[in-house]
Structure 1
């Protein structure tokens, strides 16, 4: 066995061990070291680079490592085999999830406005924002030699009488603390309860002394393939107490759901994937939010999770392999049988977990939750709902019908497959303009004033490619056709555009976008547009019949819709029809958590939705190929772009 030391730029180091000729990326994974590997180690993305500090590796130079970088010690971990004791540095590259947790400042109105708007829209549709949880005070007679009733019977009898119910459930966790709490305040206590079933039976989540300050906490979570976001709320008032986001720890097992399903099918893989999202991602988010809000995590009594079908399976530790195998059948479309203790979540062990319902193998709870808050189901207008993520999911319809589909857009919208790509966190360029004459960029960076750029998030990528095209710097195929200080070419003639030189950047090298990056993004936008066209054609609709478009996805502070149309990602219809609604999956999970009626409506929305499997539509591939140009091979579809 050989010793492998992984060093990080912050000074930390982790030691692991490897057998002779063992793959370095696999060593990192089993040592729990997060090395970004969107392609799951097949050598195509070039992001799993490490710097060899000591020792030797059997590692040939790949197309992702220049001769100069190779001489400096840079290697791709997925292409490296361990031959002896080594020491490597793991860089804090732009897209690495390891150090990118963000806890939101809730004093900013922008952070909470989207959730307030979701609540208002749902209420306007006649849905009552009320759940079945409450805090009740209970006073009992103290036991005596004449009254020897056990504590549990005494409490249940008092609750039955006071709440006028037939059954009261006391879980083991409450029974364990009940004797001490009852005697601390002479049998006057405060209980956190939830009503269950049609008869309103009671489940007792917790018990406190009568003078204790008790807030019923709830947790809404959006489990994205790339990013996980969470809200901590007061279940009674609906107030948001905390908000945080982080990269999904599963990213090192692949950027897409197929690679992760394959990894989960390996021995011990299911547990590794579940541990990556729960122990390494969700639990740290909970701790960070609760610490910032000064809120006890054991007072979180209910959770609502919205994620795509694969993420729901991997979160629950359920076999996801049938999802990718014909006939593509999930283990569950919805389930109400999970509790926090089943999964090792650091909240109250009896916290009930609600999972937004899946529709099919590739349209999951993130879309049903998002469709709820888009209000598409409650409007007569023909509306299109688009969720931009690793998978692009679409819903089209109105209050009479809804059809959904999903396309594999890849991780480009969230920074994956892009050499300088990153999530929408500090250091990300989220908006950009480029001077047509000088080719000089002007951009906005996420973070505090003075924050240096590190990379590009989704909204920034859309802007940069649109601006490069509008300025005539790239042609419709995404190739560079102008020269200048910011245009570079490697020895093979491959071009790139430098947004920020190293001296002005917060990264270890220039922030630049390459022709390979542009090609990857053109494919992603082509997948979205071709999915829109295919779904509309299957209904014998035309893009001109779309009356409203709701765009969701946490890819930046907002999307420049004009630029999205310019590159051919969205149909060329009047810009006033487009509405950016942010992370609708998280908004929907928040609304479901807060309201039992909203939860029931989400199940109804899911059951009323028809799922279209694009791979079964013969014309889809033709549509996709035609859309892999800027804006499209048929420029007549984009009259506003040709007129610029």
Structure 2
């Protein structure tokens, strides 16, 4: 046996025992030590860096760590095995996503306004707020020797008299509390119920004097981040909000790696524990405390997530999703309750999962399509949700078609040497002087924060600016020389945004030709998906009249720069609209509005799903897109006139 000490930059330490020869990344995972590993430990991303402080590791040298860094003790956890007692330092950036991730989660006035506007548009379409949760007052006769009716029957008859409904369901969780509450309140109580035309379900019984709130929870489960709002089910008022990194991130940045991880022994439970125990339940505890409520007062949940996230949430095998013919266990389900998946809310809380419509187009897109209002407009519109996967919906009030493309982790900073998620120290916006090639940039975090790396919106800006300034060619190769442009011993070029002494890390913050090539493929996946979907309908780009961009990266994205690199179509920039976290907004609407919930199911049922992997011509389109802005420059006349 060997002792492994994981030391964090804040001074905290975690000590675990393991067998000599065990992989260091696996040791960290088993111990709930977060080490970022977007590639799930196959050695391709180079993000699971740790610093050897003492002891023994058997480590392979990789292209991700140069000789100087190796001499300083830097190693990749996935390429290291424990040889004996060892102490390693885990950089703070590895766990930053847990608490400081910048996401579209109603944390700014801009996001709140977008959220409010979405609700107004839904109301204008007659999808008003209104659901079957009620709080009603009851006053019952106190039992006597002449009136020996049992408590459950006494409550049932009182409810029948008030509601006029014969069928009353009193679950065991409520029955357990009933005797004490009735006697403490002298048989005058408040009941939280779900009331339908023919049925009443009793969630809770409270004393008459209690300040009762019937809460619900709307959740967006993204591959990288999770956002949620706790709301008053009667008024729609937001009581609390929270966001966090998805605890599954350490098992891979994309859904394929997580599905593969789930197939290992104990994998289903491991992935479910990561989202339930490490992510959602702590968020629920945090929000309940902020709202001054017991988490048991959450009586309904609504979830927007992609197909894989939905399967892993409920602990169902997701492997068929990635294997042809790509058949999921479910598109829609109405039978999940909180106790089934160990959520720390009321055990009988119903979990509404926005329906999936394909193996890679899930409930986050159906929920987003609802609030984009494509279905309520006569003109042709495009909805784009940017994340680890790129999902698209095109259509109008007559039809809608959807598809998904594997953009990969580049938009979240994966596959980029200095890439990172949108957290403290990330460059999120950039301008470059065309003459001097000197950069100016905005950094997430407190004033004075030094740069650590580049997040998705920053990468888009840097590549667009390098192209605009003629520093790189349409193939992404460096064609100008200067202080900021350097070459390694293989001749590979890179652009330095911040030299080591200007940065917060231990090396230059730079973007290399390999990084640019990786990102060109990611942006190419988006544009080729748009073109392929339009071609399948015999449409062209000129027919798009509105584009709605959603997702965390959209909050910081420069739309014009996204067009300039060939990720978005070259149409008037005023056609583009950022609509925030549409998945969370849609989940909120489904939670509070029975009409909206029914509408999402209707949209999912009527939406056509296009499987790009089997679509003829898609790969040709993709290859044509791997150029700045495109091999066919006529598709980007505005961009080419400015370069």
1:44 corresponds to: 44
1:186 matched to 2:225: no
Indicate the residue corresponding to 1:380 in structure 2.
378
**Given the superposition, is the C-alpha separation of residues 509 and 146 from structure 1 closer, same or farther in structure 2, using an over 3 Å criterion?**
farther
SS in 2 for 1:331: coil
Do the aligned partners of 1:93 and 1:507 also contact (CA within 8 Å) in 2? no
Task: Report the Cα distance in structure 1 between the residues aligned to 2:467 and 2:297, rounded to whole angstroms.
Answer: 52
CA distance in 2, matches of 1:607, 1:394: 16
User: 1:605/1:106 Cα in 2 relative to 1: closer, same or farther (>3 Å)?
Assistant: closer
Counterparts of 1:87-102 in structure 2 under 5 Å? 87-93=87-93, 96-100=96-100
Distance 1:350 1:495, change over 3 A: same
The partner residue of 1:592 within 590, 605, 609 is 590
Closer, same or farther: CA 104–507 of 1 in aligned 2, 3 Å: farther
**211, 214, 226: which is aligned to 2:212?**
214
2:539 aligned partner: 541
Shift of 1:569: 0.2
1:485-634 equivalences under 5 Å are 485-555=483-553, 557-634=555-632
CA separation in 1, counterparts of 2:310 and 2:250? 18
Decide whether aligned partners of structure 1 residues 629 and 358 sit closer, same or farther in structure 2, where only a CA change above 3 A counts: same
- 2:121 corresponds in structure 1 to 121
The question of 1:168 aligning with 2:168 is answered yes
Count residues in correspondence.
642
Range with greater deviation from structure 2 (231-240 or 300-309): 231-240
Identify the residue that residue 141 of structure 2 maps to in structure 1: 141
Shift of 1:275: 0.6
Structure 2 stretches lacking a partner, 5+ long: none
Equivalences for residues 357-506 of structure 1 within 5 A: 357-506=355-504
Change (3 A) 1:512 1:610: same
- Give deviations 1:161-205, integer Å, cap 9, x for gaps: 101112111122211111111111101111111124xx3411111
What is aligned with 1:339?
337
Give the superposition deviation at 1:579: 0.9
Q: Secondary structure at the match of 2:136?
A: strand
Contact 1:95–1:421 (CA<8 Å) still a contact in 2? Answer: no
Does the aligned pair in 1 maintain the 2:34–2:95 contact within 8 Å? Answer: no
Q: Which runs of 5+ in 1 are unaligned?
A: none
Q: State how far apart, in whole Å, the 1-side matches of 2:409 and 2:335 are.
A: 32
SS at match of 1:483: coil
Distance in 1 (CA, whole Å) between partners of 2:185 and 2:102 is 41
Shift of residue 543, structure 1, vs aligned partner = 0.4
**How far does residue 419 in structure 1 lie from its aligned partner after superposition?**
2.8
Deviates more, 1:420-429 or 1:571-580: 420-429
**In 1, Cα distance between the equivalents of 2:184 and 2:501?**
63
Q: Which moved more, 1:468-477 or 1:607-616?
A: 468-477
The DSSP-based 3-state class of the residue aligned with 1:83 is: strand
Confirm or deny: 8 A CA contact 1:374 1:550 kept in the other structure. yes
Structure 1 contact 221–589 (Cα < 8 Å) conserved? yes
- Superposition misfits of 4+ residues, deviation over 6 angstroms: 102-107
Q: Does structure 1 conserve the Cα–Cα contact (< 8 Å) formed by 2:554 and 2:578?
A: no
Q: Structure 1 residues 642, 74: closer, same or farther in 2, change over 3 A?
A: same
What TM-score, normalized to structure 1? Answer: 0.96
What CA deviation, in whole Å up to 9, does each residue of 1:88-109 have, x standing for no partner? 1111226753453679997842
1:420 is displaced (CA, Å) by 2.9
- Rounded to whole Å, the distance in 1 between the matches of 2:103 and 2:489 is 43
Q: Equivalents in 2 of 1:94, 1:432: separation in Å?
A: 24
Deviation at 1:520, TM superposition (A): 1.5
| Root mean square deviation, CA, Å | 1.8
SS of the residue 1:215 aligns to: coil
Aligned to 1:353: 351
Moved more, 321-330 or 374-383: 321-330
Distance 1:600 1:504 in 2: 54
Determine the C-alpha separation between the residues in 1 that align with 2:430 and 2:605. 41
Q: Assess, with a 3 A threshold, how the Cα gap between structure 1 residues 55 and 640 changes in structure 2: closer, same or farther.
A: same
* Pairwise CA distance, 1:378: 0.9
SS in 2 for 1:55: strand
Aligned-residue offset at 1:160: 1.2
1:166/1:449 Cα in 2 relative to 1: closer, same or farther (>3 Å)? farther
Q: Is the 8 A contact 2:555 2:578 kept in 1?
A: no
**SS of alignment partner, residue 56 of structure 1:** strand
Matched, 1:29 2:23: no
Are the equivalent residues in 2 in contact too, given 1:95–1:420 (CA < 8 A)? Answer: no
Give CA-to-partner distance per residue, 1:241-274, whole Å, 9 cap, x none.
Answer: 2222211111111111111111111110000000
Q: State the distance in 1 between where 2:450 and 2:109 align.
A: 24
In the TM superposition, residue 446 of structure 1 has moved relative to its aligned partner by 3.0
Farther off after superposition, 503-512 or 382-391: 503-512
Evaluate the alpha carbon distance shift between residue 420 and residue 556 of structure 1 in structure 2; reply closer, same or farther with a 3 A threshold: farther
In structure 1, distance between residues paired with 2:338 and 2:422: 29
Q: Give the C-alpha shift of residue 556 in structure 1.
A: 5.1
* Secondary structure at 1:354 match in 2: strand
How far residue 448 of structure 1 moved from its aligned partner, in angstroms, is 4.2
- Post-superposition shift, 1:308? 0.5
